[in-house]
Every structure is written in C-alpha cells, then in structure tokens.
Amino acid sequence: MNAEIIAVGTELLLGQIANTNAQYLSSELAQLGINVFYHTAVGDNSSRLKDVIKGAQQRSNLIIFTGGLGPTKDDLTKETVASVLSVELEHDQKALNQIEQYFQRTNRHMTENNKKQALVLKGATVFPNDNGMAPGIAYKNKDCLYLLFPGPPSELKLMFDKYGRSFLLEQLETKQFMESRVLRFFGIGESQLETEIEDLIDSQKNPTIAPLAGEGEVTLRLTAKDNSLDRVTEMLNKVEEEIQRRVGTFFYGYGTTSLHSELFKKLQEKKLTISSAESLTGGSFANELTSFNGASLVYQGSIVCYQNEVKEKLLNVSPQVIKEHGAVSFECAKQMAEQVRQTLNSDIGVSFTGVAGPAEQEGKPVGTVFIGISIKNSKTEVYTLKLSGSRNGIRNRAVKYANFYLLKLLS
C-alpha cells in the first residue's frame, strides 16, 4: 500500500502553523509497513484541491486528507472529494447527535452550518470524533482508499489511534512490520562517513540506509521491513553491527538524543560532577547542561572568563602562562580546566578558549580552539581544533566537541 498525505488549509501555506499531522501520520504508517511517498499541502481552494487529488490518484492507492472538515465555507475537503469521486454526501446520524449534544451540554446555540460537520460520503466507514465534532471518513473507490481526518492534531491523533490504525490493518492483504533506527555520529563529515560505508549503501535493499547531515553531526536512518518483528530487529542489528565496526568511533547515540543529553545521562550514571571555565563559549556549555531537570546533581557551576584578568584572579591561571603562551593556548586551556575543577570542587573541569572571530587574536587565526578536560586523579587532556564557519557556529561546535570528548573519556 503506497500512501500520500494531503494537508488542506491555507494557514499551512502562510506558515501560520506547522504540518505536524503529516509527520505523525508518516511515523504511524511506517510502523504498519505502509509506504508514504508524497506529502502535499494545498490551500482552501476547491479547484486546486481537485488537481491535487487527481494527481494523487495516479500514483497512490491510499490517500489521506487532514483538515477542511469544519463548519465554515472554506472547509471543503469532503465536498471536493465527493465531487471528484461522484459520490453523494449524507448526514451521519450518530455524528449529528453528538454535535447536538455538545451544544446542549455547553448551553450554546447551534447554528445551521454546524450540521455540515456531520456530512459523510455515502456508504463510507465513519470514525467517531471523541475529541471534537467532525467525524473521520474511510471510503473505498475502485483500487484506492480515501481517509479523511480532522485537522486539529488532538482530534486526528486520538481518532487514528482508536479507529484509523485498526481499520488500515484490516485492509492490508499482507501485514508487515517496519521499523527505523537512527544512529547519531559526531566528528566525522557526511562525505567521509558515506565513503566508509559506501558499499553498504550501494547494495542496500532491506534494510535501507539513509545518511542525513545536521549541524556538525551526521545521522544514519536504518529501515527494515518484514512479516516478522523479530526478523526486522535481527536485520537492523546485523547492518548496525557492520556500521559500528567501521565508524563506531564517532557514534554517540540513538534516535532524537543530543550530545549534551547523552553527557548529562553519563554524568548521572557515574555520579560525577562537572564545572566549566568558558572564555570562547561565554557560558554556552553551562546553558546546555543546566537545561535538564536535576542538573544541580551533576553541575557545580561555571566561570565565564573573557578577560585575562578574570582568568588570573578568579581561576588562578598563571600570569606567566598567559604572558608566554597567550590566553588562546594549550597551556592556558589546561590550567583553566584544572583550576575550575579545584575551585568549584567538582570531579571534572572543562575549559574553552579560542578565537571565534571576526579577526585573529594573539596571531592565531579565527577558528583556533583549545578544549581542556581535567578529571580527578587522571591526566588532563587538551584538544586542539581548527574550526570554520560563523562566529556562533564556531562557538556552538566547540561545545559539541567538548561534549563528545567527555563522553568518550567517561566511556
């Protein structure tokens, strides 16, 4: 079954709301083994909606509509679908009773146009709306199945969960399971990662492998489909094992996680505390780590030390080090990490110093970054980076690199 999702509403095209319904439905359909090949958004215009429907009929055998089932004149999804299919509309008595009861219950006057919400395609399967008024509709015409859902996400999600999913499962001749697994990598570019697993991508069939570049990160989405859920898991495990063997050094987590989320969990797991000395990053590391509930259990504090005087007086960085090597140096980053750990009495101290731009500093080019990591009873590590990009881009990537290095050291 190949599906297409058509979102109806001019507000979508104006950017007033995001099309979260399509995202939700795509995720749910994937779990049922149903392919979603197209997303379309169209305004409240009958002529354009007809064109979209006719195009969808040529390439999809499951067409799902969201929105346009309300009481006003610009809610025209049902009317347009009925026109294209040459099907009559009729009132669904249960839906009409539910709408009337709602107005009685809330002691409000029901206008005539509200009855429009109870209209359904003649001969259709009707999904009750347990969180609103307009019911959902399922209608089979020739070899194509049409599903119409209300636009408000709270109504659509409940309706699909209670009625839509089981209805679709009944329609599937061969029930399949589809599962995706997202692997997250840092410190390796998309082109390099793709080169390392190029033969796997070239030969992919099932599971499929889809690389996606993010902000300084790369993700791989593995997707497998089979009649057996156990077999799906087995296939995903096998291809992931080979990927990890080749580029596992750069792997840090699954799904929608982030570097700072993984670091936070690792610190909690090991019952370690951390503090930061931030010159280059201006408190960005602290801001990320303290965004989690319970951050006080792992985070001691930060000293934002942009000026050399602050480094010397608050962090006790040696003036001689700054004089001989500069504030942007291996030696300064090392002392900053060690001193903030001791000063704030934490298990770990991390430091940031570097040149974010727009001009060079101390004769060092923009993008020069030093990250120091001091772990109690361990040798202090200092990492030297040459980053490119905007001022904020350099700062943000420096924080990500620190999170990644800390994860590797703590693992």
Closest of 123, 133, 147 to residue 7, by C-alpha: 147
Strand partners, 361: 364
d(CA 95, CA 90): 11
Exposed (0-12), middle (13-18) or buried (19+): which is 369, by Cβ within 10 Å? buried
Domain termination site, one of 171, 205, 235: 171
| Domain count along the chain | 3
Strands 177-186 and 208-213: unpaired
Please identify, among 123, 153, 171, the residue that sits at the C-terminal boundary of a domain.
Answer: 171
Look at phi and psi of residue 61 and say left if phi exceeds 0, alpha if psi is from -120 to 50, else beta.
Answer: alpha
CA distances from 101 to 94, 107, 162, 163 (A): 11, 10, 21, 22
Q: Are residues 282 and 371 in the same domain?
A: yes
- How far apart are alpha carbons 8 and 27 in whole angstroms? 19
Q: What is the DSSP string of 181-198?
A: EEEEEESS-HHHHHHHTH
pLDDT along the chain (411 residues), means of 10: 95 94 92 90 96 96 96 93 96 94 90 93 96 95 95 96 94 80 94 94 91 88 90 96 97 95 97 98 97 96 96 96 97 98 98 95 96 97 96 95 97 90
Instruction: Please tell me whether residues 26 and 112 are part of one structural domain.
Output: yes
Q: Are strands 299-304 and 274-278 parallel, antiparallel or unpaired?
A: parallel
CATH code assigned at 348: 3.90.950.20
Residues 199 and 293 in one domain: no
User: What range defines the domain where residue 216 resides?
Assistant: 178-254
| Distance between CA atoms of residues 409 and 397, nearest Å | 18
pLDDT the model gives residue 30:
85
My answer on whether 45 and 140 are in the same domain is yes
**Helix 391-410 to helix 259-270 angle, to the nearest 10 degrees?**
30
Site of tokens 């300084």:
216
138: CB partners within 8 A, 6+ apart:
124, 125, 126, 127, 145, 146, 147, 148, 164, 167
Same domain membership, residue 401 and residue 318 = yes
Look up the CATH number of the domain holding residue 232: 3.30.70.2860
- Rg over alpha carbons for the chain, rounded to the nearest Å, is 28
Q: State yes or no: cis peptide before 128, omega within 30 of 0.
A: no
Among 47, 133, 36, 124, which Cα is nearest to 83's? Answer: 47
Q: Which of 123, 149, 171 finishes a domain?
A: 171
Q: Taking the CB of residue 200, how many other CB atoms lie within 10 A of it?
A: 17
Task: Tell me: do 239 and 283 sit in the same domain.
Answer: no
368, 296: one domain:
yes
CA–CA dist 67, 121 (Å, integer): 16
Q: Is there a single domain that holds both residue 161 and residue 186?
A: no
Q: What is the CATH number of the domain that holds 109?
A: 3.40.980.10
Two tokens, residue 84: 């294209």
Tell me the CB-side half-sphere exposure of residue 146, using CA atoms within 13 A. 24
Do 330 and 233 share a structural domain? Answer: no
Q: Give every CB contact of residue 96 below 8 A, 6+ residues apart in sequence.
A: 115, 118
Start-end of H helices in 292-390: 308-315, 319-325, 330-343
389 and 242 together in one domain: no
What does pTM read for this prediction? 0.74
156, 33: one domain? yes
Separation between Cα atoms, residue 10 and residue 157, nearest integer Å: 21
CA 383 to chain centre: 30
Q: Omega of the bond prior to 211 within 30 degrees of 0, cis? A: no
Pairing state of beta strands 119-121 and 89-91? antiparallel
Residue with tokens 């999913």: 165
Same domain, yes or no: 108 and 147: yes
